[in-house]
Amino acid sequence: MALNKKIAYIDLSAQTVEQAPVPLEMRKKYLGGRGLDAYLLYNHCPKGADPLGPENVLLVSAGFLVGTPASASARTHIMAKSPLTGALGSSNMGGFFAPELRWAGFDHLVIKGKAGKPTYLFISDGQIEFRDASELMGLAPPQVEQAIREELRDDEIKALSIGIAGENLVRFAIVETGLKNAGGRTGMGAVMGSKNLKAIAVRGTMDIEIKHPEKLLEYDLDLINSITSTKFGRIMQKWGTMFIYGVTNSTGLVRVRNFQSNQLPDSEDIECENIEDYSFGTEGCFGCSLHCRHKYIIREGPYAGTYAQGPEYTSQGAFGAEVGCRSFNTVLTGNHLVNHFGLDTLETGSLMAWAFELYEKGIITDKDTGGLKLEWGSDEAVLALIEKIAKREDIGDTLAEGPLRAAEKIGKDSIKYLIHVKGMSNLHSDERPTPSLALGIATGTRGSDHLRSRPAIDLYHLPEPVLRKIYSYPVPYDGPLTSDYRDYEGKPWQVFWQEMCYMAVDCLGICKYHTKFLSPNLPAFKEWPELIKLITDLDFTPQEIWEIAERAYNIERLFNNREGFSRKDDALVDRYFDEPTPDGLELVRGKSIDRDKFRKMLDEYYQHHGWDSEGVPTGETLKRLGIENEPTRAL
């Protein structure tokens, strides 16, 4: 059944495995996925651990509803202490790995130590093997998966693996499964590399019992129909997240040439419609009806003829707007290269844009870049620099250390041009006109973040009664709400609410595109209890799911507090306050974040959480959530 999947404790140094059930009490406290991973990380990762040392712990999990008929129940979660930031490291990806992991009998992997030689794990129907990965070194993730399938003679095997960026301990290396599913942000691929762990392969044929199958199929069909019938659903099926670029760029909500502008003119070539010249269809993750990723062939340049999948909105920014490029072929090629080498798209694009601005200002020169001219709009420089970062060549070796370490090495006031939070670079969005989004990136537990607390529907100018209906459930809220995304009132509650929504969906293992992220009409707290009941026969109220999310989020915050993070780190760089937006529509032009109002937003945000003025959970909050004595023991 859905409740009998296990935790595996894997010691790479000793090559031992222990298995244990997940106690029902912990299910009721954290569900699974990201929530239970946060508890496990706090317990198993010692305070002050070196993120690239054997004492760091790598957690890989499937959410509570993964592998069932619940719509888009495909998400894999990966967690460790981040080698990029030193704070919570966390990543989430789709595909087919997590369902296969559950069918193989496991919900959570707790991986410690360091293998003595390149190793991969093979998990199959309750058994875990340590296997030699020497022949896999240097391969790209899709090649790794194919090689393992050939070695084990099973084309149904799913593999989670790293590319050469992870092997080279690039601090923002990703883990990846399939051709495109990337666990980005915070450097989980570097953690795998530091452990000599090239891949985790899974194959499962074990059942997941559904308690009320007929009712579940009927209920899930209603949810799927409601999701696919929304305007958002129809757009996602056609363009994927690429549709966002045309809207945000035309408004003036994107970062251009690092942070010098907020609109890239004459960039129609990188808008979503142009994918039709490259695409030959779409596909999706396990159990998903949206199929938001395109299958495409690169048409021009040195990679012409290469098959790839994507791109996301993030790649349009990383290899387009941020670096001043206007070629869709460059966006598609850059998207392929970061997946091939195993690099985080956002971090790579943002760091390249920073390096381009430093080059423009003479802070770095041809001597630093190995002769590569980092000039705005240079398609050749963008693609070459991606490879240099993955291989740690010339300036790429410096950038591979991440923003703060790179700035320390370069010096010369280079740090003031970085766009980051907690040492993790920002998405290519420009939040100067949008206080709610600015607060969201400043307070994310893993650094600058658009997937942990982003109230994106704030951009839609929804009427106040509609906002009130969304943001007053399942916890009542009678404070201010406004339809103007430039206002500051009520935004801390919106950020708080979205944090709880995204934490809950990460615990369940459902895709964020199937909840209230980019559309106000998608499922959330009201629908999740029924899904859980029909699948597991466990009873939860919407309020209890909110409390689970709040409990898990506080564990994440406690982890960061323990590692030295506090209010001082919930901050934006000075450019957000000191440099008004120069471009865009009139409603966003000339905007910057007001320092005093931002401080007040942060105070209010802490109050909603029940944290003190430094962002530390109070004893009363921990007692209310039943974790005043936790984390106290390892499962």
Q: Which of 181, 203, 225 is the last residue of a domain?
A: 203
SS3 (DSSP) at 81? strand
CATH number for 128:
3.60.9.10
Q: Which of 425, 455, 486 is the last residue of a domain?
A: 425
Tens of pLDDT, residue by residue over 363-403, are 999 999 999 999 999 999 999 999 999 999 999 999 999 99
**What is the average pLDDT across 150-160?**
98
Say yes or no: 122 and 263 in one domain.
no
- Cα gap 396→406, rounded to integer Å: 10
Residue 211 lies in a domain: no
Q: Of 376, 373, 377, whose CA–CA distance to 394 is shortest?
A: 373
Please identify which residue in the block is written with the tokens 């095997």. Answer: 157
SS3 (DSSP) at 83? coil
Say yes or no: 441 and 341 in one domain.
no
Confidence of residue 3 (pLDDT cuts 50, 70, 90): confident
**What is the average pLDDT across 235-241?**
96
**What is the average pLDDT across 249-255?**
98
pLDDT the model gives residue 616: 97
Residue 215 lies in a domain: no
**Total domains, the chain:** 3
Tens of pLDDT, residue by residue over 39-91, are 999 999 999 999 999 999 999 999 999 999 999 999 999 999 999 999 999 99
- Cα gap 493→482, rounded to integer Å: 11
Residue 420 lies in a domain: yes
Say yes or no: 199 and 250 in one domain.
no
Strands 106-112, 6-11: pairing kind: parallel
Residue 472 lies in a domain: yes
Say yes or no: 141 and 252 in one domain.
no
* Percent over 70 (pLDDT), the chain: 99
Say yes or no: 49 and 149 in one domain.
yes
Residue 226 lies in a domain: no
CATH number for 452:
1.10.599.10
Q: Which domain holds residue 487?
A: 435-624
Q: Which of 370, 390, 425 is the last residue of a domain?
A: 425
Q: From the centroid of its chain, how far is CA 114?
A: 25
Say yes or no: 21 and 40 in one domain.
yes
Say yes or no: 78 and 161 in one domain.
yes
Structure token pair of residue 168: 């080279």
Say yes or no: 137 and 69 in one domain.
yes
Structure token pair of residue 599: 């401080």
Are 42 and 18 in contact by the 8 Å Cβ rule? The answer is: no
Residue 632 lies in a domain: no
Side by side, which strands form the sheet with 76-81?
16-21, 6-11, 106-112, 58-62, 76-81, 88-93
What separation in angstroms does the CA of 218 have from each of 212, 262, 443, 534? Answer: 10, 46, 39, 10
Say yes or no: 354 and 465 in one domain.
no
- DSSP per-residue letters across 482-509: -S-TT--TTHHHHHHHHHHHHHHHHHHT
Are 592 and 115 in contact by the 8 Å Cβ rule? The answer is: no
Say yes or no: 403 and 444 in one domain.
no
CB within 8 A of 356, min separation 6: which ones?
A: 257, 258, 323, 324, 374, 375, 376, 381
pLDDT the model gives residue 106: 98
Say yes or no: 20 and 82 in one domain.
yes
CB within 8 A of 374, min separation 6: which ones?
A: 352, 355, 356, 358, 359, 360, 364, 381, 385
Say yes or no: 46 and 194 in one domain.
yes
SS3 (DSSP) at 159? strand
Residue 1 lies in a domain: no
Residue 81, Cβ density class (10 Å: 0-12 exposed, 13-18 middle, ≥19 buried):
buried
Residue 231 lies in a domain: no
User: Measured in Å, how far apart are the chain's first and last C-alpha atoms?
Assistant: 20
